[in-house]
Amino acid sequence: MSVNILKSLLGRLKTRRKYRRNFPIFFSYSVSYSVKMASDYNDNSKLHLPESDKNKLFLSRLSLASKSGTWLALPLVNKSVWTSRYRVYFKLNLRNGCLSQKPQGGIANDIKRFKVLQFTDVYYYPNYLPSNGLNMFTFRLKRGERLKYRSKKIHSAIAVEVGGADSFQHFVQDCLPLLSYLSNEEIIPKGAKVILKNPMSSQSAIYFLLNSLFPQLDFYFPEENSSLSIENLFVPHFYPRNYVWSLPRPMFSSMNSVIRSKFNSEIAPNKIVFLHRGKNRMRNLANPEYFRDYLSEFAANQNLDLVWIDTSSTNISDISRIVGEARVVLGLHGGNMYNLIFAPKDCLVVELVPSRNLDSVANLAIALGYQYLPIPLNYDKSDEEVAIPLSEFGVMVDVIKNTLKV
C-alpha cells in the first residue's frame, strides 16, 4: 500500500501544474522590440451586477460562486503565483451590491513589459510543453542538437504558438490579441512566417478569422512530432513571465481595432442574439423552447428582434454578421460566448454563468469594452444539462431590462 501511495504522489508531482521556460536562460539573443505594458484589470466600470427590485436571488448566488485555479497576487514580493484552491470569483459587498475587488479570473497582474527576442540558428520544437501548463507558449528552443529526423529549414519566423489556441475559444482569448498587436505595431518582420498552433479539425472558424483579418501574413502550422531549423526566430516575451491567460489590455484594444475594421456593421444594433450551444457533452439547455418564447416576448417589448443562433451548426460568417447587429448578446458559459468579439461597441453581454465551479468571459468582455452582466444559474460547469426554472425567467428578464436602462 505504501509503495502505491508513493507512486501516486510521485505521479502527481510529475504532472502538477508548473511554469516552465521555453529556452535556457543562457541562450544568446537580442531584443528587437521592447515596450512598457503593465497588466491592468482593475477597471470594472463596465461590469454590472444582477440586481432586481423583486428578487435578490442572483446577487446572493453570485456572491458565493467560486472558481478553482487562478493567479494569486502577492503584493509584498510583486509576484503572482498559481493556486488551485477555490476562491470566490466575484467578491461582493451585499450591503450596497458593489464589487469589492476585480473578478478572480486567473489574471496575473504583475506583467510590466513586453519584448520581442531574436534568436539565430535554433531548433524549434512545436507542442513541446503541455497546453494545460501555466506557460503561455508550448514550443521549445534548443541549440546544436543532433536530430533523429530531418528538420524543415526556415529563414525567418515569429513564434505565436500559444497553448490551447487550436480551439476557437482559446485562440480568441489567448492568441488573437497578441497576433493583432504584433500586426498593428508592424513588429512581424517582412517575409517572416508566423508559426501558429494547428487548429483542430472542428475549428475551421480559426481559419476564417486568420484569412479575414490578416490576409497579408504568411502562416505556418507545424505538424506534431516535427522540428524546425530556423535561421532567424523572433519570440514574444512578457516580463517577468509568459503567464497563460494574462495578456495586457492594450493587446485586446488592438484586437478590437482589427476586428472593427473588417466586421463593423452599418446597421444600428437592433437584435437580442442568443448564442445557443446546441447539443454538447456539457451544459445543454434543458428547456430551450420556454426560454426562447420568454426572450422573444421580452425582445418585442424592447423593440428588438430575437435571433436564436445554434453556434454548433451555423456558419461563422453568418454568426459574425448577426452578432455585429446585436444590442444584447446572451448565452450559457462556453466556447459559444467567444463570438461576442463581433458585437458592436457598448453591446451588453449577458452570460448565464454557473454558480458552482464558476468560470466566465468577464475579463475578456470587459477588456474589449463591452458592458458585461453575469447572471448565475443553479448549475455546475461540468453538468450535462442546465435547467432554468420557470420562476427565474421573469427575474432574469427584469435584470437584463434594468441593466439596459443604465
Question: Which pLDDT tens digit goes with each residue over 163-176?
Answer: 999 999 999 999 99
In a domain, 348, yes or no: yes
The number of residues in the chain equals 406
Domain boundary among 239, 261, 283: 261
d(CA 359, CA 154): 40
Please tell me whether residues 274 and 182 are part of one structural domain: no
For position 145, what pLDDT does the model report? 62
- H helix intervals, 324-382: 362-367
Q: Which of 197, 180, 173 is nearest to 105 (CA)?
A: 173
Asked whether residue 2 is domain-assigned, the answer is no
**Which domain-ending residue is among 261, 285, 309?**
261
What mean pLDDT do residues 18-37 have? 89
276 shares a domain with 251? no
Is there a single domain that holds both residue 281 and residue 252? no
Question: Is there a single domain that holds both residue 27 and residue 173?
Answer: yes
* Residue 303 and residue 227 in one domain: no
- Tell me, yes or no, whether 88 lies in a domain: no
Q: Output the domain CATH number for residue 349.
A: 3.40.50.360
Residues 242 and 279 in one domain: no
At residue 148, does pLDDT exceed 70?
no
Interatomic CA distance for residues 253 and 130, integer angstroms: 29
Could you tell me if residue 91 is inside a domain? no
Domain C-terminal end among 202, 235, 261: 261
Domain that holds residue 301: 265-405
Same domain, 335 and 369: yes
Kindly indicate the confidence band of residue 114, based on its pLDDT and cuts at 50, 70 and 90.
very high
Average pLDDT over residues 67-82: 84
- Give 323-369 pLDDT, tens digit per residue: 999 999 999 999 999 999 999 998 999 999 999 999 999 999 999 99
**Same structural domain for residues 138 and 257?**
yes
Asked if residue 118 is part of any domain, the answer here is yes
**Residue 106 forms part of a structural domain:** no
Q: Do residue 370 and residue 400 come from a single domain?
A: yes
Does the residue 188 lie in any domain? yes
How many separate domains does the chain show? Answer: 2
pLDDT band at 91 (very low <50, low <70, confident <90, very high): confident
Hey, what's the cell of 338? 467567444
| Dihedral sign from CA coordinates of 74, 80, 83, 87 | positive
Question: CA 293 to CA 120: how far, in whole Å?
Answer: 61
- Check whether residue 160 and residue 33 sit in a common domain: yes
Task: Clarify whether residues 242 and 360 are in a common domain.
Answer: no
Q: Which of 344, 405, 336 is nearest to 373 (CA)?
A: 405
In a domain, 380, yes or no: yes
Name 20's Cβ contacts closer than 8 Å, sequence gap at least 6: 129, 133, 135
Judgement on whether residues 280 and 391 belong to the same structural domain of the protein: yes
